[in-house]
């Protein structure tokens, strides 16, 4: 009996968030994710920018009669960020789960997707007091302020920064794994230890073309691992899942952090136990070549996939 209790305590410790001061809401969400991992996969949808009246959720409701369990949002446009926080808050209050990414424009150039792909001297930025370091910390402060709003509203966030880091198209992936991991550690320390953003669940997202263990930030700074690949079919992406699992094992759940075509739920299982999928916005959702409406409806109605209306019955406590 004592051995069983000790094993249970060890299991709970292994499944703890990397932030020891994590909020009750973040802890509850993480515990729920572990409970369903290997049995169910959460449906997820990324929205386009809020100031252009996002259309993705309305489209999914019209086609499937349901809503995704996870809403994906992006701090990509300063004009949009206040609206992003309002949509995140509303989604949480109505029983959904929120994930946020940040297409971080090169700090010495400016925000936006195209600027995220431009050059930035990350090695110089890691030197305290350099012009690049000052610009980088200014941006971190601005995003930290936005995340503080959500913390103070008790909104837990699946925080997916520096995504597709093992690719070479965003500036944070252009300088190799050591510089990237130093940046991840700097952001983690800034947000968790200095700013007390204890509502964050840290999601590390590899680029599917290069799932290299050298890029792993470490279990002490990662709660969920993932990879993405915009495959042309609805396959289970099992080889990519297994590559991530070879790095993280059973230490954290594994998600499909972005996708085009939604994987066929019938193909998921031990070989591809994705915790969630996150379909990208606009044409990646609505183009019939990506996700035909009949397939979308069938997938959202499958037993494997959980939608927003099914979260409570699956054990996720609404606020």
Contact 88, 314 (CB under 8 A): no
* DSSP-derived 3-state class of residue 212: coil
Q: Please, which residues have CB within 8 angstroms of residue 1's CB and are 6 or more apart in sequence?
A: none
Reported as a single tens digit per residue, the pLDDT across 162-211 is: 999 999 999 999 999 999 999 999 999 999 999 999 999 999 999 999 99
Q: Which of 114, 164, 232, 310 is catalytic?
A: 164
Measured from the Cβ of residue 84, the count of other Cβ atoms closer than 10 Å reads 22
Q: Are strands 224-228 and 97-101 parallel, antiparallel or unpaired?
A: unpaired
Reported as a single tens digit per residue, the pLDDT across 51-65 is: 567 899 999 999 999
Q: Which of 47, 56, 243, 258 is catalytic?
A: 258
To the nearest whole number, what is the mean pLDDT of the chain? 94
Contact 121, 132 (CB under 8 A): yes
Give yes or no: 258 in active site.
yes
Q: What is the structure's pLDDT at 221?
A: 98
Give the range among 1-5, 21-25, 76-80 with minimum mean pLDDT.
Answer: 1-5
User: Mind giving me the DSSP string for 51-117?
Assistant: GG---HHHHHHHHHS--BSEEEEE---TTTHHHHHHHHHHHHHTT-EEEEE-----TTT-SSHHHHT
Give yes or no: 164 in active site.
yes
Domains defined along the chain, listed by start? 2-314 (3.20.20.80)
Chain position carrying tokens 């004009």? 79
Q: Please, which residues have CB within 8 angstroms of residue 235's CB and are 6 or more apart in sequence?
A: 263, 264, 267
Distance CA 302, CA 32 (A): 20
Distance CA 240, CA 208 (A): 7
Q: How is residue 135 written in tokens?
A: 């610009």
The whole-model pTM stands at 0.95
Q: Give residue 12's pLDDT band: very low, low, confident or very high (50, 70, 90).
A: low
Say whether pLDDT at 2 is over 70: no
Contact 272, 236 (CB under 8 A): yes
Reported as a single tens digit per residue, the pLDDT across 276-310 is: 999 999 999 999 999 999 999 999 999 999 999 99
Beta bridge mates, 256: 227, 277
Distance CA 136, CA 241 (A): 33
Say whether pLDDT at 122 is over 50: yes
Contact 145, 102 (CB under 8 A): no
């Amino acid at each position: 009996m004592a051995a069983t209790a000790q094993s249970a305590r060890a299991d709970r410790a292994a499944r703890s968030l990397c932030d020891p001061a994590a909020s009750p809401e973040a802890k509850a969400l993480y515990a729920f994710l572990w409970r369903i991992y290997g049995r169910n996969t959460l449906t997820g949808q990324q929205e386009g920018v809020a100031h252009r009246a996002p259309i993705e959720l309305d489209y999914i409701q019209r086609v499937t009669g349901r809503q995704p369990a996870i809403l994906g949002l992006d701090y990509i446009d300063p004009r949009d960020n206040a609206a992003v926080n309002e949509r995140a808050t509303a989604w949480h209050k109505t029983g959904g789960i929120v994930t946020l990414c940040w297409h971080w424009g090169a700090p010495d150039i400016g925000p936006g997707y195209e600027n995220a792909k431009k050059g930035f001297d990350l090695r110089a930025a890691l030197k305290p007091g350099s012009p690049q370091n000052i610009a980088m910390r200014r941006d971190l402060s601005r995003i930290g302020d936005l995340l503080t709003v959500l913390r103070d509203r008790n909104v837990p966030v699946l925080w997916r920064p520096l995504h597709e880091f093992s690719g070479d198209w965003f500036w944070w992936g252009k300088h190799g794994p050591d510089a990237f991991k130093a940046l991840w550690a700097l952001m983690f320390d800034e947000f968790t230890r200095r700013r007390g953003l204890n509502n964050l669940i840290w999601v590390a997202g590899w680029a599917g073309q290069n799932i290299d263990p050298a890029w792993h930030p470490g279990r002490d700074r990662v709660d969920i691992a993932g990879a993405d690949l915009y495959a042309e079919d609805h396959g289970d992406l099992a080889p990519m899942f297994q590559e991530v699992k070879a790095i993280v094992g059973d230490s954290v759940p594994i998600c499909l952090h972005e996708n085009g075509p939604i994987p066929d739920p019938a193909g998921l299982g031990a070989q591809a136990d994705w915790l969630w999928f996150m379909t990208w916005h606009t044409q990646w959702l609505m183009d019939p070549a990506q996700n035909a409406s009949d397939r979308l409806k069938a997938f959202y109605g499958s037993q494997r996939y959980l939608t927003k209306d099914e979260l409570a019955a699956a054990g996720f406590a609404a606020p």
